[in-house]
Structure 1
């Protein structure tokens, strides 16, 4: 009778220990990777415990979890991925997750014969082709929305993750970092647009800027606050501005 009581007590103690182990949270460290390497600011959400984290620029993350919790990995450019925390994951030193890019593809493409001869010029003249269907031709409301850059996608992902993600971004400084990246990319894109609006020969012959110094000259213009105020489509005003800046640039670098 005493032995039976002891066995019963041991059984309940072991069961209680196992139950306690299952309910104790543990920090899981890991890394997210993808084919293109763009894994910064990927959301890592423990949907069971409503705890979240964000990967750093190299894809590393740390999140609290218990046995059987569900962890969701998501980003705008990736397919959503879920894993269930197992004993092996809790016991491992690192968790490595590979994300697949989001794909919008047709399930099947059917090529119909049109008695083509194989001569491209002749076949194009024979075929009556309807105007291509586009968002603009269909009158869709998003027809003229510009495609977001990589930095803008990350910022949008950070903002659209809900109140919890917004708080995490604000506390960690991630929101500020993404905003600065977005601003730098917008400035770079604008300067690159203006740079390509004029042929290299104009920089060399009219502004007297050597070919290998053109990009440096554009940066010299960019740091001037007046440059940002110019309309990037007003070529005449931009050219007059760069003409004035070329004198200062050549003088600074003794190019005359």
Structure 2
């Protein structure tokens, strides 16, 4: 009798486990939910959803249902006992975003202006060498340097009082020398040279220098003008290594701090 009950119980469990029902389902999503493929991989059954996302499909406990659509991510659901008891299933699908490969038009820019220019395929601009005419290749003169050159340059001119034969020399340089204009222009050129050198040294070395030689930010510009006022500034900083320039700045730094202390007292 006990054996019979066990056998009946086992068969009853197997029958319940293998019982196939018509499962009602509904898809939820933000997009179009019509014509989504619903596949019972275990039972090899197939259907699609209607315009409202509803579907019917035969299923039993532990079957695997696959939900597939081009606009949604693939999703698989295993049929649980709760789904069997309710004879219904509710599935939410997530939209599938197609990420395109990165498209690079032209060369990749590094952010380094000079490096990017060197790597460009563009043709170099035409210069005077290309067309066979003479041109200036040196450093362009400043306005003060040009004025000094004009003020101190003797310019012989053709022609004269003897029937156009002979020549003359401009007396403007003599007048400029007598009036002091030439001297004034020379001083202006020197001042501009020191100013330019000071700005170059400041831009190149200020960050490293003040990292080890602290000075209030409001005084840093004044410090460099203090350095430029030194008669030996150009000698120690023009066409010199950064190491030599830093030695000079360190010496002036001590003097500058001493002056600040004297002014406080």
Q: TM-score range by the shorter chain?
A: 0.3 to 0.5
| TM-score, structure 2 as length reference | 0.42
| TM-score, structure 1 as length reference | 0.44
- Select the structure that is richer in strand: 2
Which one has a bigger Cα radius of gyration?
2
Task: Using CA pairs under 8 Å that are at least 6 residues apart, name the structure with larger relative contact order, 1 or 2.
Answer: 1
